[in-house]
Amino acid sequence: MQRTRAELEGMHHDELVTRVLELQDMLKEGLAVRDALHGVMNTLLNAKADEVTRYADADDDDLAHDEVEIKRAWAAARHAVSNPLGLMHTRSEEER
C-alpha cells in the first residue's frame, strides 16, 4: 500500500522498519520473477533463432503488415533480454 509523505512521517520507527523489510521482500520477489522471465525469453529466442534472424534481417518494405508486427515483437524481445531498462525507456518515449 502506498503512503503519503505525511503518513510516513507520522509512523513510529518500528512501523517504518517493518515496512522497509516488507518492501525489501517484495523487491526480492520481483527480481526473482524478472530473472525467471529473462531465462524464459532467452530460451525462446534461442529456440526461434532462425525466425528471429530472418525477421531481423528483413526489410520492412518486403514484409506484409502482420510480418512487420512480428518483426517488431521479436526486436522488442531481443531488446528486453539484452537491455530491459533500455526497453522501458524506449517504450515510455514512444508513449509521449
Locate 61 and state its grid cell. 518494405
Residue carrying the nine cell digits 533500455? 86
Do 90 and 79 contact (CB within 8 A), yes or no? yes
Whether 57 shows a pLDDT value over 90: the answer reads yes
Whether 3 shows a pLDDT value over 90: the answer reads no
Give the pLDDT mean for 62-71: 94
pLDDT band at 29 (very low <50, low <70, confident <90, very high): very high
H or E stretch at 22: helix 13-47
pLDDT in tens, 31-54: 999 889 989 999 999 999 999 999
Domain boundaries in the chain? Answer: 1-35, 48-96
- Residue 83: what pLDDT? 79
Give the pLDDT mean for 19-37: 93
